Amino acid sequence: MKVNKFMAIRLLLALVIMVGFSSCSKKSSSKGGSRATGWKINDKKGGFQYASKFKKQATGPGLVLVEGGTFTMGKVQDDPMHDWNNTPNQQHVQSFYLDETEVTNVMYMEYLDWLKRVFPPEEENYRNIYEGASPDTLVWRNRLGYNETMTNNYLRHPAYAEYPVVGVNWIQATEFSKWRTNRVNESILEQQKFLKKDSKVVDVKADATFDTETYLAAPTKTFGGNQEIVLQKGQKGGAKNNGAAGAGGGTANANGNSGAKNVYAQRTSGLILPEYRLPTEAEWEYAAAADVGQREYNIYKGQKKYPWSGSYTRSGKRQVKGDQLANFKQGKGDYGGIAGWSDDGADITNKVKSYPPNDFGLYDMAGNVAEWVADVYRPIVDDEANDFNYFRGNVYMKNKIGEDGKVELVTAETQVFDTLPNGKVVARNFPGQISQVPVDDNETYLRQNFSTSDNRNYRDGDKQSTRFFDFGSSEEGEAKLPSEKRMYDSPEHNVSTDSIGNMVRKFDKSSKRTTLVNDDVRVYKGGSWRDRAYWLDPAQRRYFPQDMATDYIGFRCAMSRVGPKADKKKSARNKR
């Protein structure tokens, strides 16, 4: 008995010691001690500063989370066009955010208003910026139709404020996305007191604007280097966003006080959102199909023909039975049905959110307008090369470093304007942004994952597959080949200026061109108000020149998800 009591006392002491060590460990962890060094993180005296309380990425304005997963890309139920460009292939898409609706006229008008205020068109340096960003309202005209009401009113009249913007080419949609990134991050930093309040309205001007990448790489040069606008913050009471510590990249003063100098928001702060951009084709198709609504455990029960369940364009729900689920062309000469009993409530586009959302909560993924996506068009989708976040169109760039070893910013004198084949002049960068140059051997040497800056032609059945390909030549691109040796033999229009500055448009009048496909042709997805129901299938894909616009193509923005795939942990027991 005495032995048993003695053993019991020893076990009790051992338990007490273990609990003590555990509590010490928890106590040490709660103080923010590093698991690498044991040093204190976010010490007011200095050292390593990190957003250790960060919880999750904030959802940007207008966005909806689309949880990633696997799906069959390019599978269409009907293919009467016989395009042979929809070969089904299995793809996995990482979680991302997508605009709940298409970009509307009022959203785009906010962009135009900002450009007009910051870069006045009456000034010679900026006269092409506003015009280059403005939608082409003449897309509504038709040789045998009267559409002047839309030409004059569709973009700016408040009656069309919540209708999807049209007349926007791919380049303009891309530039809008970049502008939106900067305005959203600018607003976040102002709210967290890294920028002076109302500076985005009161102090902004052509040579003093906010750019996200400039702020991250050289914060002191933001807003033209005006330090009264770009504020510094100490570690104590640092900004927070969903639990993210605001301080990053700075150190405390030598005397150890909390008024640290040169402390700005960085990526480590967790405040800066990733860029708004056009979705990839795989992302858009995955989001539009919303097969999650067909899921039963770990399988999809059937393939959707449209973004909604079922094989019909009308609702089967008792309350709204027979109502059209999208606006599209019903038949020849029928864009909206009979007066007094409209099939879909629209004849051209319609106000966003006029029809039920799909199972991801996204509106108008069929009907209303077709939408630009980021991809360069090719007839094939090379799933053998990649089946994760598939995208054709990567052109890798890097920040330009000046002779002083610092990033080089765009100025009014170095700003780049492109003259498109149709003669439209557009700005490709803005003062205050970091100048970009293609990546070179410093980034590509001995790499296995990429070897050139421009990857649009990679394994596309073009140069490497032609009998004229010179395997010993430099990778200068398809444009260097003579016309008769290019597999994608597309028209070559040319716009130039004469000696007195007049624009000269030269059309390619050749009747022997074999295709419209080149590196400047982009994919657009979804059926529009002008399309028959056949095109409402999310897997359908078409292409259009990136510098041209129509009255039936619009766009919506996407944003990558950083961090976990989903907000909640899933298990095999989870059902719909």
Least confident stretch, 117-131, 205-219, 337-351, 451-465: 451-465
| Mean pLDDT along residues 528-557 | 96
pLDDT confidence of 477, banded at 50, 70, 90? very low
Q: Please answer whether residues 504 and 497 qualify as being in contact, where contact means their C-beta atoms are separated by less than 8 angstroms.
A: yes
pLDDT confidence of 250, banded at 50, 70, 90? very low
Q: Please answer whether residues 208 and 409 qualify as being in contact, where contact means their C-beta atoms are separated by less than 8 angstroms.
A: no
- Residue 256 vs residue 405, higher pLDDT: 405
Residue 21 clears pLDDT 80, i.e. is over it: no
| Mean pLDDT along residues 1-20 | 61
pLDDT in tens, 60-80: 999 999 999 999 999 888 777
* C-alpha pair distances (Å), 393 with each of 76, 279, 376, 559: 24, 12, 5, 17
- Residue 392 vs residue 235, higher pLDDT: 392
Least confident stretch, 159-168, 507-516, 561-570: 507-516
Q: Please answer whether residues 389 and 406 qualify as being in contact, where contact means their C-beta atoms are separated by less than 8 angstroms.
A: no
Q: What is the pLDDT of residue 468?
A: 57
Least confident stretch, 168-177, 320-329, 477-486, 499-508: 477-486
Q: What is the pLDDT of residue 236?
A: 39
| Mean pLDDT along residues 31-53 | 83
Report domain extents, the chain.
53-192+271-391+525-568
Pure H helices in 126-232:
127-133, 148-153, 170-191, 199-202, 212-217
pLDDT in tens, 291-350: 988 887 787 877 788 999 888 888 888 888 888 899 999 999 999 888 887 788 899 999
Q: What is the pLDDT of residue 246?
A: 38
Radius of gyration, CA atoms only, the chain: 28
Q: What is the pLDDT of residue 247?
A: 37
Instruction: Find where tokens 């330009």 sit.
Output: 400
d(CA 100, CA 291): 17
Q: What is the pLDDT of residue 16?
A: 58
| Mean pLDDT along residues 422-431 | 88
Element holding 371 (H helix, E strand): strand 370-376
d(CA 277, CA 173): 9
| CATH number for the domain running over 53-192+271-391+525-568 | 3.90.1580.10
Find, among 170, 19, 52, the residue nearest to 546 by Cα: 170
Q: What is the pLDDT of residue 201?
A: 93
Q: Please answer whether residues 574 and 112 qualify as being in contact, where contact means their C-beta atoms are separated by less than 8 angstroms.
A: no
pLDDT confidence of 432, banded at 50, 70, 90? very high
d(CA 98, CA 277): 10
* C-alpha pair distances (Å), 347 with each of 132, 158, 168: 29, 18, 20
Residue 3 clears pLDDT 70, i.e. is over it: no
Share of the chain above pLDDT 70, in %: 84
- Residue 497 vs residue 477, higher pLDDT: 497
Q: What is the pLDDT of residue 533?
A: 92
Q: What is the pLDDT of residue 504?
A: 82
- Identify the top-confidence range among 253-267, 359-373, 458-472: 359-373
- Rounded to two decimals, the pTM is 0.87
Least confident stretch, 186-190, 242-246, 345-349, 384-388: 242-246
| Mean pLDDT along residues 205-211 | 93
pLDDT in tens, 90-115: 999 999 999 999 999 999 999 999 99
Q: Please answer whether residues 414 and 435 qualify as being in contact, where contact means their C-beta atoms are separated by less than 8 angstroms.
A: yes
| Mean pLDDT along residues 135-139 | 97
Residue 249 clears pLDDT 90, i.e. is over it: no
Strand-pairing partners, residue 506, are: 494
Mean pLDDT of all residues belonging to the chain: 85
Q: What is the pLDDT of residue 471?
A: 53
Least confident stretch, 151-160, 352-361, 454-463: 454-463
- Residue 359 vs residue 422, higher pLDDT: 359
